[in-house]
Amino acid sequence: MKKIIFFLSLFLSISLFAQTDFSSVSELPDYAILKTKMKLDDVYTKADTPAEFPGGMETFKRKFAESMDVIDVKSKKINTRVYFIVEKTGYVRYVTATGDDIKHSKAAEVAVRRLFVKWKPATINGEPVRYLYTFPLTLKKF
């Protein structure tokens, strides 16, 4: 019963937001970490048409929440930022999550990797580009 209550509170209190605007990759708050874990050559953070999950952002949020494992979180507040690159082909690579709680970050990475879905790639001047997608994932326990 305790796990069910925790599970419900976890997913009812998750706030997911869409791509945050940064004019370059080096402006990201976690740039030092990302450059060690990702191939950031020719990656854009802004595009004429950003990368899009099939069915839109609401579908992505729902599928992400469904694929996220229930984990035992010790802290009252979690601030995790998930980064991944949507390649020119539409496939997701280099999933990395940063945050205070390592277990939560790993669970968020796994949840994105489980969504093996081809995205609509970002475009600039009608040409597909590598696009760094980022969204914050916050949790406040009651």
Tokens of 74: 């010790």
Name beta bridge partners: 140. 77
pLDDT of residue 34: 78
Is beta strand 43-44 parallel, antiparallel or unpaired with respect to 127-140?
A: parallel
> Which pLDDT score, from 0 to 100, does residue 142 have?
58
Which pLDDT belongs to residue 90?
A: 93
- pLDDT, tens only, 1-11: 444 444 444 44
What is the mean pLDDT for each group of 10 consecutive residues in the chain (142 residues)? 44 45 60 79 89 91 83 68 92 89 85 90 94 82 60
